[in-house]
Structure 1
Amino acid sequence: MPASKPTKKTSPFEIAREALGHVGKFQTPPTPSVYEVWYRYVEGVDDIIANLAHAVEDVNAVSVDMLEQLHEQYCRNIDDSNAELSDNLAHEISSLQSIIESQMHAGVQLGNELDEACGTLKETTPTAESVAECAQKMLSSNNTMQDQIRQLQTQLQASQAKVESLQAELSETQLVAMTDPLTNLGNRRHFDVQVHQALMLAKSEDLFSFLLLVDLDHFKYINDTFGHESGDKVIRYVASQLTQLCPESPISRLGGDEFAIILRNDDFSEATDIAAEIRQYFASTPLKLSGSGEDLGKIELSIGGARLRQDDDGRSWFIRADKLLYQAKNSGRNSVMLEHSRGGV
């Protein structure tokens, strides 16, 4: 379920004071990275709230490791890093263009030199000496051209390798920025990208999607009874099983115990079958803690799903799915509630 946001403060002094209060309350060291996460949490940064509010409000336990992961993912200036990589990539691509232009120029120059060398042959009756002189100039120009080509090819290969390396590094940086560190699923940024892609597919290819929001029932009980570490294990387990159950669908962890799945079709019957299979799988699979062998019981969850409409944006689509998730919770939990028609919920 969406975590309730802390009341936003307007004064930096108020934000700083409340952030320090969280440092003391949860006994986390006031290192720069830890303090910055608490500051952003109080300030109202959505990504940090989505990942931290459950631990703060429900579990009442926050680990330093969690804060460090959140700092790495949301506070480190990924945009600046991407901008620097993009600048380097643009520079190397420009170098590639220059090398190609140099090679073209060398070819033109060779042609001019050959024309000049053979010019005397066109104007007068060729003699043995003029033919030999022309051949010598052609050979010299060709040797020069071959040397230039070899140098340019070496530069071209080096520049191409650099471009490929920078492209791979940029892709890796973007992937890290969109990955949830606990589950290795997509995070909130990944979800936003997938929603945008779904909207584009609907406009360009008339391909509509179903958004499923999945929320664990009574997850607070697991954390309170077995501890936060066990709760993390359950979250990782749910993430891995969702990936197996929906291998072709983008899956994101929105924070806490809530996940989002985008089905690349808007068939109600098929979406209902998938949602029911997910619910039934967890409800029928008892779990035990590795190591201690303690019985965790079965994982129950609720699912709400909404069809993408032609007049939707990402927010309206999410709100309808979230409303149906609340209805599934309020109807007794461990249930599925999907939007049957393209009309109102």
Structure 2
Amino acid sequence: MGKNRLIDRYLEALTAAESENTALKTLEKARLLRVPPNPIHYTLLFDYLAEVDPFLMEQLETALKLKAYNDDTADELYQRYITHLISRHLPVDQAEDTLRRMKEELERWLEEFSSEHNALRVDIETLREDHHDIAEAIIDKVILPRLEAIEKRSENLVRQVEQFAVQMERLRAKLTSSYEEARTDPLSTLLNRRGLMEALKRLVSEAEESDTPFAVIMCDIDHFKRINDNYGHTVGDSVIRYVARVLKNETKGQDLVARLGGEEFVVVLPNTSYEGARHVAEKIRETIANKKLAVRLNNKPLRFTLSAGVAMWRPGESIEDVFERADRALYRAKQQGRNRVVGGADLL
């Protein structure tokens, strides 16, 4: 099943939760299983009956066949299910919003439960005052014990809400960490291609709305294979990390810096002119060309250079188009002897 279809079915199921028939089926299932219809059981059983997700269907059916569905297994399954649903099928912003709404729904459910419980207490006291002789035995021997049981379940629910809040924070942190890892290059700690493309989609949309330009600088370390061959891949990795630091230092907070792979990097400068972008590219090139890197067990310091191609985004064109022009400018820089910056205007 496709990702979008799964999300659609989940949202349809959430909407259908207001259906009295669906709710009654869920409550009846809880009764048959002899579990309380608290938010965790209700969510699991409702989504199971609605066939929202194959993962939940398989997990819950296994527990039911083994007659192992109870409070403890439900708590564990609920956490696995929410983690699965969020990490697999929802973007990070929707996922965090889903977690927040789940917590709010639990708190709302508890508030309503507490309000009805307090009203029942008042009704009992009124009954005792108005019909003391008749009602006392019933109140003390039947109603009050049941009310105390309800209060105990209410206390348990409070603890569940508190535990859910802790779990929600852990899931949110895990989700954010996983999201960042998925869009970050581990060696350079810069954005990877996926992270860059996600950010560029937003940037292009903003640039089109505000009619403001942005520039792309495509960078490539000159003779990087020679560095790996002569000094080893450990030194090569250090060179990658050093170039990443230079790119970060020469750019501002709103600029995008990414490693596309190997020795190739890209810098995107929002709201920047061609002259401004070319100036940044030259500063990057000069900083790297003037640096001598010490190499352990080698008396001769390592010097290397970088070439760059600059292109301006044009309204209406795709990300691929401006990248292709920046890449052609980079190729021209390599052809002209490396350690230089070539701009799109130089190709005309």
- How does the TM-score come out when normalised to structure 2? 0.60
Residue of 240, 261, 270 corresponding to 2:267: 261
Residue of 282, 286, 302 corresponding to 1:276: 282
- Mapped contact 2:274–2:311 kept (Cα < 8 A): no
The one-letter code matched in structure 2 to 1:209 is F
Partner of 1:6 in structure 2? none
Residue of 167, 170, 179 corresponding to 1:162: 167
CA shift for structure 1 position 108: 4.5
CA distance in 1 between partners of 2:283 and 2:240 (Å): 18
Partner of 1:252 in structure 2? 258
Residue aligned with 1:294, SS: strand
CA shift for structure 1 position 326: 1.5
What are the residue-to-residue correspondences of 1:103-142 with 2, within 5 Å? 103-110=110-117, 112-113=119-120, 116=123
CA distance in 1 between partners of 2:200 and 2:271 (Å): 13
Partner of 1:312 in structure 2? 317
The one-letter code matched in structure 1 to 2:299 is G
Deviations 1:220-261 (A, max 9, x none): 332333333332222222122222222523211111211011
CA distance in 1 between partners of 2:147 and 2:177 (Å): 44
- Mapped contact 1:216–1:302 kept (Cα < 8 A): yes
- Mapped contact 1:110–1:141 kept (Cα < 8 A): no
- Mapped contact 1:209–1:266 kept (Cα < 8 A): yes
Moved more, 310-319 or 286-295: 286-295
Residue aligned with 1:160, SS: helix
Residue of 230, 240, 246 corresponding to 1:225: 230
- Mapped contact 1:307–1:317 kept (Cα < 8 A): yes
The one-letter code matched in structure 1 to 2:232 is G
Return 5+ residue gaps in structure 1 as ranges: 1-80
CA gap 1:107/1:230 in 2 versus in 1, 3 angstroms: closer
Partner of 1:85 in structure 2? 87
Residue aligned with 1:293, SS: strand
Deviations 1:55-75 (A, max 9, x none): xxxxxxxxxxxxxxxxxxxxx
CA shift for structure 1 position 140: 10
The one-letter code matched in structure 1 to 2:265 is F
Deviations 1:79-102 (A, max 9, x none): xx9756357979966753552342
Residue aligned with 1:221, SS: helix
- Mapped contact 1:210–1:264 kept (Cα < 8 A): yes
The one-letter code matched in structure 2 to 1:105 is E
Partner of 1:61 in structure 2? none
CA gap 1:82/1:259 in 2 versus in 1, 3 angstroms: farther
Residue of 183, 189, 196 corresponding to 1:191: 196
CA gap 1:83/1:340 in 2 versus in 1, 3 angstroms: farther
The one-letter code matched in structure 2 to 1:85 is S
Deviations 1:179-201 (A, max 9, x none): 22322222221222222222122
Partner of 1:102 in structure 2? 109
CA distance in 2 between partners of 1:220 and 1:127 (Å): 94
Return 5+ residue gaps in structure 2 as ranges: 1-82
What are the residue-to-residue correspondences of 1:44-63 with 2, within 5 Å? none
Residue of 189, 207, 210 corresponding to 2:215: 210
- Mapped contact 2:220–2:307 kept (Cα < 8 A): yes
Residue of 269, 275, 287 corresponding to 2:293: 287
Residue aligned with 2:298, SS: coil
CA shift for structure 1 position 114: 6.4
CA gap 1:114/1:331 in 2 versus in 1, 3 angstroms: same
- Mapped contact 2:307–2:330 kept (Cα < 8 A): yes
CA distance in 2 between partners of 1:208 and 1:142 (Å): 68
CA distance in 1 between partners of 2:203 and 2:258 (Å): 14
Q: Which has the higher helix share?
A: 2
Partner of 2:330 in structure 1? 325
- How does the TM-score come out when normalised to structure 1? 0.61
Return the structure number with greater relative CO, CA threshold 8 A, min gap 6.
1
